[in-house]
Amino acid sequence: MDMTTLPPIWLDHLNVPAQDPELLAQWYADRLGLERRGKTVVGPGISIFFKKGAPLKAGDSFHFGFRVENKSGVEAWAEHLGVAVAFDEHDFFAARVTDPDGNIFEIYWDKL
């Protein structure tokens, strides 16, 4: 099948295993200003479902990112979350956060 004839796709949600899904959902809601709905957090364009299970503990092998519009957005979030900017490159700027279960996410900006 010709790829140009397929309808567009986009990432809609993440399922993340958690020791205590409701507690981890609250952690994300509190830090990112998302709305908690039981074991789920939602916001504009964001849906994260926390499922009971062993945390991934994948370290840098797996992470997810929240994009902001510019470098100053990364700096503001880094300050809010109490973390340092981890990457300061010409076309990529990011802060990394590790949640209580060891999952890593980034607040980032890039030139793409």
- So where are the chain's domains? 14-52, 63-112
Cα(30)–Cα(16) distance, rounded to whole angstroms?
17
Q: Tens digit of pLDDT for each residue in 79-110?
A: 999 999 998 988 999 999 999 999 999 999 99
Q: Give pLDDT, residue 12.
A: 87
pLDDT above 90 (res 112): no
Q: Tens digit of pLDDT for each residue in 24-62?
A: 999 999 999 999 999 999 999 999 999 999 988 777 778
Q: Give pLDDT, residue 26.
A: 98
* pTM given for the model: 0.88
Q: Give pLDDT, residue 65.
A: 93
Q: Give pLDDT, residue 4.
A: 83
Cα(27)–Cα(15) distance, rounded to whole angstroms?
16
For every residue of 33-53, DSSP letters joined together read: TPEEETTEEEETTEEEEEEES
Domain 63-112 grouped into CATH 1.10.3720.10: no
